[in-house]
Chains A and B, each alone.
Chain A
Amino acid sequence: MVTAATMNSPLIGTPKLEIKDVGKIFKTKSGETTALEKTSFTINDGEFVTILGPSGCGKSTVLRIVAGLEEATSGQVLLDGEVINGPGPDRGMVFQSYTLFPWLNVKENITFGLKLNGVSQKEREDVARHYLQLIGLEGFENHYPIQLSGGMKQRVAIARALANDPKILLMDEPFGALDAQTRNIMQEVLLKAWEESKKTILFITHDVDESIFLADSVYVMSARPGRLKKKVPISIERPRGFSVKGTVEFAAYKEELLSLIREESLKSI
């Protein structure tokens, strides 16, 4: 059943993000590395897509190209039909490593982009309050990043990206450095924020459970040189609570993805 629905499922809605024949070759001292073979895919407006793939298959490279932090060797990326060129506030980013500005407190971090844009103090206060509540960190607005746990830091990083109201949110293993319990909680926090903000999200992960739990579609990448191997739509009903991880449906997806990933991981060893 799952396999029947995989490739080329009819696209509902308009494509928000189009990746067209994007490839990347890194030139290094020891020669050329093909990090990404020509890859194409689209993401619809409001869709939550997770990319799952073995280590070193080029997941971060795709995301960095979309963010404009890395230039593609070939192909192009379109956001709302327009070719992207360099980084910009229309594509928010959350990294795996902690990237809060340590000299700014939580509130100032969340409103960093707004302040750059000249948004008034009053409006910034309102936005900050809204996102603090959304990520469940009311009362922490005056804390500095050094005083926060890893999970709290990543919540603030998500709020900071969302507060800027980007067209798409790019997340590169944002929970990769967190312990399993915190990770599960963070997934629920993120889903709640996504449902509330109706953002389009491109989320990278190693973790099969995480990819299923969050996604409308899981894109599986092949081992290096990376390319898109398969698109697996996840039709588990929303809103999703942590209990869906125990369902038969979830287990079926997991089995399918695990075997796909296993094939690829074996190749990359």
Chain B
Amino acid sequence: MLAKWFTPNKEIPKSVYTSAGLITFLLFLVFWSVLSYGGIVNPLFLPTPTVVLATAIDLLFNGELLSNIGISFTRVLVGFLVAALIGIPLGILMGSLKIMEGAFEPIIGFIRYMPASAFIPLLILWIGLGESEKMSVIFLGTFFQLTLMIMDVTKNVQNELIEVSYTLGAKKLQVFTKVILPAALPGIVDTLRITFGWAWTYLVVAEIVGASSGLGYMIMQASRFLQPDKIIVGILIIGLLGLLTDMIFKAIYRASFSWMRKDGF
């Protein structure tokens, strides 16, 4: 039995798979508990799980948490949507037209190595400390990577599908809309899922400087006032929100691309 579970590439029962994930979580919790309840680490640095839970409930009921979530979520969403709205068409064009790749790949490949956080001072100079500055950080953090990934997805569309569509009478524009786009769509959705996750990580960076609201701001304030429990709540919430959006994208993927599965479900 045990040997079976440790054979490369071998399927295992779903229950075992799920249990393995739960056990890892539990082990993590046990580790945390031993350190905190056991008094091994000063509670000023690592609060106990119960304290963190109490703080979370408190923040939830006094409304602070929800309003911060709302603000942060809006920032992430708008910054990311703008990145996707430009990055998807641009990436598709770069992946299918050599001239577009030649024109944009070098500059995007260059900019993407410039850390988005380093642009913050410049952004503040240009557009001030408002919402658009926060959203711009998210945009800068995701746009370039997203565009390059969409380009790769598009390049991987089987060339023969394009060729066969020409022999069936497709015009150039139809090749884009009827072949390249549907063929690349699963990869595009998956790219969005991954890059949306990154957008969350840029959130804190965006809210550390010159913000007066949001989860990142909440975390920074908590650090200033020595409230590790509040920091941990903030981190956990961002993680949960990331996980939630990831699950939403996965659900969209499953619902939209049943043609990729033999059973059709």
- A residues near B (Cβ < 8 Å) are 67-69, 86-89, 91-93, 95, 97, 99, 101-105, 112-113, 116-117, 144-147, 160-161, 164, 166, 170
Is B169's CB under 8 angstroms from A117's CB?
yes
- Stretch in B14-22, B83-91, B112-120, B176-184 touching the partner: B176-184
| B227 part of interface (Cβ distance < 8 Å) | no
Would A112 and B163 be within 8 Å (CB), given that A146-B261, A147-B264 are in contact?
A: no
Separation of A140 and B179 alpha carbons in the complex (Å): 22
B249 to chain A: closest CB distance in Å? 18
Q: List 13 A-B contacts (CB under 8 A).
A: A69-B167, A87-B166, A89-B169, A92-B167, A92-B168, A99-B164, A101-B161, A101-B183, A102-B183, A103-B182, A145-B259, A146-B262, A147-B264
* Contacts A99-B158, A101-B179; A144 near B259 (Cβ below 8 A): yes
Q: What is the CB-to-nearest-CB distance from A97 to chain B, in angstroms, rounded to a whole number?
A: 6
Whether B168 contacts A146 by the Cβ 8 Å rule is: no
Partner of B174, one of A116, A144, A170: A116
Which residues of chain A have C-beta atoms less than 8 A from B174's C-beta? Answer: 116
> Once bound together, how far apart are the Cα atoms of A170 and B164, in whole Å?
11
C-alpha gap A87/B170 in the complex (Å): 9
Interface residues contributed by chain B, number (CB under 8 Å): 25
User: In this assembly, does B160 line the interface, its C-beta being within 8 Å of a C-beta of chain A?
Assistant: yes
- The B interface is mostly helix, strand or loop, or mixed, namely helix
CB distance from A164 to the nearest CB of B (A): 6
A89-B167 contact in complex given A101-B161, A116-B174, C-beta closer than 8 Å? yes
Residue of B nearest to A70 (CB): B163
Question: Across the interface, do A116 and B169 meet the contact criterion of CB distance under 8 Å?
Answer: yes
Q: Across the interface, do B261 and A87 meet the contact criterion of CB distance under 8 Å?
A: no
Q: How far, in angstroms, from A160 to B185 measured CA to CA in the complex?
A: 23
Within 8 A of A (CB), among B144-202: 158, 160-161, 163-171, 174, 178-179, 182-183, 185
Which residues of A lie under 8 Å from residue B183 when comparing CB positions? 101-103
Decide yes or no: A89 and B262 within 8 Å by CB, A95-B160, A101-B179, A116-B174 being known contacts. Answer: no
Which 9 A-B pairs have CB atoms at the shortest separation, nearest pair first? A89-B169, A113-B168, A87-B166, A93-B167, A144-B259, A99-B164, A99-B160, A103-B182, A103-B259
Q: Which residues of B are found within 8 Å of A144, using beta-carbon distances?
A: 258-259, 264
User: Which residue of chain B has the shortest Cβ distance to A113 in the bound complex?
Assistant: B168
Would you call B3 an interface residue if the criterion is a C-beta within 8 Å of the partner chain's C-beta atoms?
Answer: no
The answer to the question of B260 belonging to the interface, with a C-beta cut-off of 8 Å to chain A, is yes
> CB < 8 Å: which of B161, B168, B170, B262 contacts A147?
B262
A93 and B160 alpha carbons, distance in the complex (Å)? 10
Contacts of A92 in B (CB 8 A): 167-168
**A105 surroundings in chain B (CB, below 8 A):** 259
